[in-house]
Amino acid sequence: MEVQVLSFYYCLLFLALFFISKLLILRGKNLPPSGPLCLPVIGHLYLFKKPLYRTLARISGSYGPIIILRFGSRRVLVVSSPSVAEECLTTNDIIFANRPRLLVGKYLGYDYTIIPWAPYGDHWRNLRRITTVEIFSSTRLQMFSNVRISEVHSLLRRLAADDTGESFKTVDMKSMFFELTLNFMMMMIAGKRYYGNNVSDLEKAKRFREIVKESFVVGGVSNVGDFLPALRWVGLFKDLEKKLVNLQGKRTGFMQELIEEHRMVGTHQTQSKEEKKTKTMLDVLLSLQEAEPDYYTDEIIIGIILTLLSAGTDSASGTMEWTMTLLLNHPKVLKKAQAEIDSTIGQGRLINESDLTNLPYLFCIINETLRMYPSGPLLAPHESSEECIVGGYTIPRGTMLLVNVWAIQNDPKLWVEPREFRPERMEGVGGGSDGFKLMPFGSGRRGCPGEALGMRMVGLALGLLIQCFEWKRIGQEMVDTEEGTIGLSLSKGKPLEASCRPRSTMLGLLSQI
Ligand code: HEM
Ligand SMILES: *[C@@H]1O[C@H](CO)[C@@H](O)[C@H](O)[C@H]1NC(C)=O
Ligand SMILES: *[C@@H]1O[C@H](CO)[C@@H](O)[C@H](O)[C@H]1NC(C)=O
Ligand SMILES: *[C@@H]1O[C@H](CO)[C@@H](O)[C@H](O)[C@H]1NC(C)=O
């Protein structure tokens, strides 16, 4: 016991000396303001109150749009104005195109080899290039348009089932959007549906859903061990690490089976017509593998699939849930969106994807939602690979960068009454010099490659739900807009429920799909 206590103090002493020497080295440089009192060892971690983006916005409010904090052993640059963000993501884009090596990236990111976690370099560039051409290009997006349409139709059919359009029914919107998005993704990836009706394989579906649930629980923890490595050496996070390893094993196993299955079907050509009308993303990746087996290993393919699933699901379904929340609290906006659809497409046919460009108001609504509730309020953490200059200050190499997009998009100096939901303000916003005032998808080399796909999924789902149904809150009270506190994303705290019934004018069409 005595010895342990003693070595603990030695440890502290060592750390203190370490930091002091580092400070001395850096003192000569012109570092940005360092915010409130920085305690030894834990640095600014004591300030953490969730949600983090709000806490950081408050601190930046007093200390300025560019500050350096310490999360335990990590130096963190927090940026919260459009011009400083622009400097980081354009002038210094390459330098900040790295990612910090956080624990989740080690275990769920295959030792930092998948797109979101890979360091800036050849491997990451290759993966981005392949996915840009083979997955995210407009040709490929077009190719999967029917898959997405039929998923929403299947949802509409379920919502309208044995309904005569008279009574409202209550719907669990959170699960509904989440399952819809997972179906979108898995149908595009592998031609499999794991939720709702016509599920491909009940046993597989059950396993898939369990893995998804577990990812939520385990993947959502922000890990103190990332910032206080000493605690990891002492073995305090063994349990979490074990869970992460275990989860990743299950995910890999599941995807490996999916690949084997695809291969068998591919060689025998006896697949059911239903499931394989269109080529899937997996087909595309497997045909690349045939041409270049050394580069496109199973591991690479599994990494890409898991990336698409984990980066594309919560973000898109969360955006649908927040948009619907705001629409239910602002029935006039909902009416206006419905009127836009009725006057552009009419009630004689259902919206398809080529109609989306003709529904600007719908996209103003979605953009306004992404402004108030961006699903990545701090983007994903970047890290500098060299020393650089931002806002006239020196930023040391190896500094983690958090761009507080939430703070920028809700700054009263940039937006009139930012906490008011006003889709009209989005008319003409976006692109050009406004780019860094509104950037829910990030910007630059590390920006979201799934923006076009995400916007289509969100636009199509909401467009059709608004075209076909009347929507209202389940009671008199406004829908609660409190934000959740799990992980780094901005999710709705309480799951959204809503009431709906088919519009009487749409019953005919709904019975035909
Ligand atoms: C409304 C939907 C979405 C939002 C708001 C969103 C937002 C974001 C944000 C903020 C980032 C971090 C950018 C940065 O670090 O600077 C990101 C990265 C990423 N997103 Fe999305 N995203 C959405 C949909 C999707 C979809 C549908 C996919 C793919 C199927 C996707 C794939 C990715 C990937 C792979 C990255 C990592 C990029 C890299 O590190 O190189 N996202 N997204
Ligand atoms: C399920 O598939 C059958 C044909 O295999 C189709 O007739 C039916 O409409 C589908 N149901 C749903 C809800 O997609
Ligand atoms: C969408 O519908 C319009 C009108 O029926 C049609 O002209 C267009 O080709 C359709 N687009 C797609 C992608 O199906
Ligand atoms: C929504 O925002 C995107 C940029 O994120 C922009 O390209 C698009 O034009 C905006 N749409 C509308 C209707 O404002």
Task: Find the helix or strand (DSSP H, E) in which 307 lies.
Answer: helix 298-329
- Is residue 7 exposed (0-12), middle (13-18) or buried (19+ Cβ within 10 Å)? exposed
Question: Cβ(506)–Cβ(467) under 8 Å?
Answer: yes
In whole angstroms, give the CA distance from residue 60 to residue 205. 45
Kindly state the helix (H) or strand (E) to which residue 403 belongs, with its residue range: strand 400-403
Is it the case that residue 131 has pLDDT exceeding 50? yes
* 443 CB within 6 A, ligand 4: no
Residue 3 has a pLDDT of 55
Quick one: which of 488, 363, 375 has its CA closest to 429? Answer: 363
**Quick one: which of 75, 17, 15, 72 has its CA closest to 47?**
72
Please check whether residue 446 is in contact with residue 382, taking contact to mean a CB–CB distance below 8 angstroms: yes
> Given the structure tokens 């084997």, which residue do they identify?
260
CA pair distance 443, 159, nearest whole angstrom: 37
| C-beta 145 within 6 A of ligand 3 | yes
Between the CA of residue 505 and those of 161, 334, 352, what are the distances in Å? 16, 17, 18
List of domains in the chain: 31-512 (1.10.630.10)
Question: Contact at 8 Å (CB) between 112 and 106?
Answer: yes
pTM listed for this prediction: 0.91
Residue of 317, 379, 384, 441 with the most ligand 1 atoms within 8 Å of its CB, for mutation: 441
Query: Is residue 473 within 8 Å of 497, Cβ to Cβ?
Result: no
Q: Which pLDDT belongs to residue 155?
A: 96
Give the model confidence (pLDDT) of 402-442 as tens digits.
999 999 999 999 999 999 999 999 987 765 567 799 999 99
**pLDDT band at 142; cut points 50, 70, 90:** very high
Measured from the CB, is residue 367 less than 6 Å from ligand 4?
Answer: yes
Structure confidence at residue 175 (pLDDT): 94
Looking at residue 18, its pLDDT comes to 62
> Which residues are CB-contacts of 142 (< 8 A; sequence separation ≥ 6)?
none
Reference 374, options 2, 35, 57; nearest CA is: 57
Q: Are 441 and 118 spatial neighbours (Cβ–Cβ below 8 Å)?
A: no
State the distance from the centre of ligand 4 to the C-alpha of 430, rounded, in angstroms: 5
Question: What is the mean pLDDT of the segment spanning 271-296?
Answer: 80
CB 116 less than 6 A from any atom of ligand 1: yes
State mean pLDDT over 253-279. Answer: 72
User: Which residues in 225-257 are b (16+ Cβ under 10 Å) and which e?
Assistant: bbbbebebeeeebeebbebbeebbeebbebbee
The proportion of the chain whose per-residue pLDDT surpasses 90, expressed as a percent, equals 72
Query: pLDDT band at residue 16, thresholds of 50, 70 and 90?
Result: low
The CA–CA distances, whole Å, from 202 to 151, 194, 199, 206, 473 equal: 18, 8, 6, 6, 34
Place of tokens 């919260």: 80
Name the band, by pLDDT with cuts 50, 70 and 90, for residue 1: very low
Note the pLDDT of residue 470. 97
Phi-psi region of 137 (alpha: psi -120 to 50; beta: other; left: phi over 0): beta
- Decide: 301 and 286 in contact? Cβ < 8 Å: yes
Q: For residue 86, which amino acid is it?
A: E
Distance 367 CA to ligand 4 centre (A): 6
- pLDDT at residue 270 tops 50: no
Contact residues of ligand 2, CB 6 A cut-off: 154, 157, 197-198, 274
The per-residue pLDDT for range 390-411, each reduced to its tens digit, is 999 999 999 999 999 999 999 9
pLDDT digits (tens, 9 = 90+) for 206-228: 888 888 888 877 766 666 778 87
Q: Examine the pLDDT at 511 and tell me if it is beyond 60.
A: yes
Q: What is the mean pLDDT of residues 319-346?
A: 98
Mutate to test the pocket of ligand 3, among 352, 357, 456, 464 (most ligand atoms within 8 A of CB): 352
451 CA closest ligand 4 atom index: 5
- Cα 111 to Cα 186: distance, rounded to the nearest angstrom: 24
Residue with structure tokens 């690490």? Answer: 241
For residue 500, pLDDT over 70 is answered with yes
Query: What local confidence, expressed as pLDDT, does residue 157 receive?
Result: 94
Nearest protein CA to atom 4 of ligand 4, as residue: 430
In angstroms, the CA 265 to CA 283 distance is 10
| CA 301 – CA 286 distance, rounded (Å) | 8
Between CA 158 and CA 172 the distance in angstroms is 13
* HEC profile of 409-448: HCCCCCCCCCCCCCHHHHCCCCCHHHHHCCCCCCCCCCCC
The residue type at 308? L
Which helix (H) or strand (E) segment is 188 a member of? helix 173-190
Residue-wise DSSP of 446-483? TS-TTHHHHHHHHHHHHHHHHHHEEEE-SSSSPPP-PB
78, β-bridge pairs: 67, 402
Q: Within 220-297, where are the H helices?
A: 229-233, 238-268, 281-291
